[in-house]
Amino acid sequence: MTNRETNREANREWWRSATVYQVYPRSFADSNGDGIGDLQGIVNKLDYIADLGVDAVWVSPFFKSPMKDFGYDISDYRAVDPIFGTMDDFKTLLDRAHQRGLKVLIDQVWNHTSDRHPWFLESRSSRDNPKADWYVWADAKPDGSPPNNWLSTFGGRAWTWDEGRQQYYLHNFLAEQPDLNWYNPEVIDAILDVARFWLDMGVDGFRLDVVNFFTHDRQLRDNPPRPDSVPRPAGADINDPFFDRINLYNFCQPKTLELLEKIRSLTDRYPGTTTLAEISSAEDTVGISSEYVRGNKRLHMAYNSSLMTPEPLDYQRLCDIVRSVEQRFGDSVICWTGGTHDFPRLKSRWMKFLIDDAFTHEAFDHMFAALLLSLRGSCCIYQGDELGLTQAVIPYDKMQDPFGLAGYPKVLGRDGSRTPMPWEKEGVNAGFTTAKEPWLPIPDEHLEKAVDEQERHANSLLNKYRRLLHWRKQQPALIRGKLHLLETPEPLFGIERYCDEQRLLCLFNLSPKAVHFDVSTYPNCREAKEPDFSVRQYDETIELPAYGVFFGEIEL
């Protein structure tokens, strides 16, 4: 057994309480001056990621692609796109990350491929070729229209007519992203071969893109219209026509849960590896995501949009989410996520609900960081959220996102959360690239939040994340403890995390006004020295300032 295999075996369930840092390669760091981030750029910034104190880095797609959806339309699962570098660059990234104690998760897009993938080119060539059934094909209705009323999440019909086959093919996203047919065992075998390729190379696991889209209703039934009485899923844009219907049949099918066992069986042969499922567009985000990780034969972790909605993060909503997660997930693992490359920046989602002053905004950012790292399960931090970046406003002539371009101006798309990382306040292009201009513009307001600027200030959000992440690793109750939701008076959200070695009282003031809490029922409760949130204590009463946080150790 190699040293790597030994280490994996010793810590095979590291993912249960992991902190994962998501890197969107195009926007992280550009090493060759072409305006687009690349793998060597990530290598150059690995010390930054390691110094944060996270356990793993999730790298969004860097595979060969026509880039119609910026890498989520893959034409070769086993090749690095030249935009991002070479396979040797990825191997260097993998090796250097492991040297720093970082796990590496890579995105796997198994619901669909690019329409330029050799599999699809063969599949569309005839109705009787060896890969004819590798994608989802269907005949037209007698009038020539698509087989049903399913919509693409990117706008328009989910079906495109192919002249060669004289059939429609399914695409839940762009027309250039045809859906694979997961009912075909040959497709599953081919996908698992791709997984083995990367696992054998040494990756520590996969983030699985839109895993709940893998299968569809084989009867191709129409989706019903959405009555006014049925709310849209969490995070759904009110202007997005995709949610004008209740999506009963185009995804979230029970068959997918059976197929997950094949993926889990494979990863179980590589001790210490893990899978992180993205649950997208589901009606019941918490309930559906819990199904994908239930037991030990499905996936390891799942994240959803429950904390990525535009509603205010108030007391009742937060209690409802945590209570639902505790009931639905049980011992399974949710990955708490406040933002990804697919959602507006978390800071901008909630700023409009806060008092308009810099101190309040900063206090809220610090409070949310502490909350994210205190809940039971793993968590994910999207690049730039640790800096408090706001959602960028991208002019139409600079927009790149096909979803945003299709929905403009009602749906602005994802470009605003994908702008390049600001490394230097005074540097050219904020230190991201030496090119004349980056692939997306960097807003002026991000310069004040640049990494080098925040590193100068001990109380910056970046340094707070660093202290919290390192402190969290030393708290047994946060790493392996259970969670008890407290009945605290609104607006004070409270939980207790506990295990045999430690009991920890965690309180979060969700308001812009100071609140008080009586700790007399908690014997010898003393404030944890790190991280400091400037909480005042008077005998058995603590005062939490606006958006303040209190961590108290309770005597066992």
Strands (E), 75-201: 76-80, 103-108, 137-138, 159-162, 167-170
What average pLDDT does range 238-248 have in this prediction?
Answer: 93
Cis peptide before 231 (omega within 30 of 0): no
What average pLDDT does range 57-83 have in this prediction?
Answer: 98
Distance CA 137, CA 484 (A): 49
- Host H or E run for residue 464: helix 461-472
The C-alpha angle 394, 455, 415, rounded to 5 degrees, equals 15
Which range is least confidently modeled, 4-18, 21-35, 48-62, 129-143? 4-18
Give per-residue pLDDT as tens, 165-204.
999 999 999 999 999 999 999 999 999 999 999 999 999 9
Whether 540 shows a pLDDT value over 90: the answer reads: no
Q: Tell me, what's the pLDDT at 6?
A: 45
Which range is least confidently modeled, 104-108, 365-369, 518-522? 518-522
Cis peptide before 491 (omega within 30 of 0): yes
For the question of residue 278 being annotated catalytic, the response is yes
Q: Which residues have C-beta within 8 Å of that of residue 408, sequence separation ≥ 6?
A: 396, 399
CA 128 to chain centre: 39
Q: Which of 369, 381, 282, 364 is nearest to 328 (CA)?
A: 282
N residues, the chain: 556
Q: Which domains does the chain have, with CATH numbers?
A: 3-113+185-472 (3.20.20.80), 481-554 (2.60.40.1180)
Give per-residue pLDDT as tens, 341-365.
999 998 888 877 887 777 788 999 9
Catalytic residue among 55, 179, 209, 453: 209
- Host H or E run for residue 526: strand 526-527
Distance CA 539, CA 489 (A): 20
Task: For the chain, give the mean pLDDT.
Answer: 95
Whether 3 shows a pLDDT value over 50: the answer reads: no
Cis peptide before 531 (omega within 30 of 0): yes
Catalytic residue among 278, 365, 415, 553: 278
Confidence bin at 1 (pLDDT 50/70/90): very low
Give per-residue pLDDT as tens, 270-324.
999 999 999 999 999 999 999 999 999 999 999 999 999 888 889 999 999 999 9
- Please measure the distance between the N-terminal and C-terminal CA atoms of the chain and give it in whole angstroms: 41
Give the pTM. Answer: 0.96
Whether 7 shows a pLDDT value over 50: the answer reads: no
How much of the chain exceeds pLDDT 90, in percent?
87
Hunting for tokens 């101190």 — which residue is that?
359
Distance CA 91, CA 3 (A): 18
What average pLDDT does range 83-94 have in this prediction?
Answer: 98
Residue 175, SS3?
coil
Q: Which residues have C-beta within 8 Å of that of residue 476, sequence separation ≥ 6?
A: 499, 501, 502
Whether 116 shows a pLDDT value over 50: the answer reads: yes
Distance CA 548, CA 536 (A): 10
Q: Which residues have C-beta within 8 Å of that of residue 221, sequence separation ≥ 6?
A: 148, 248, 249
For the question of residue 342 being annotated catalytic, the response is no
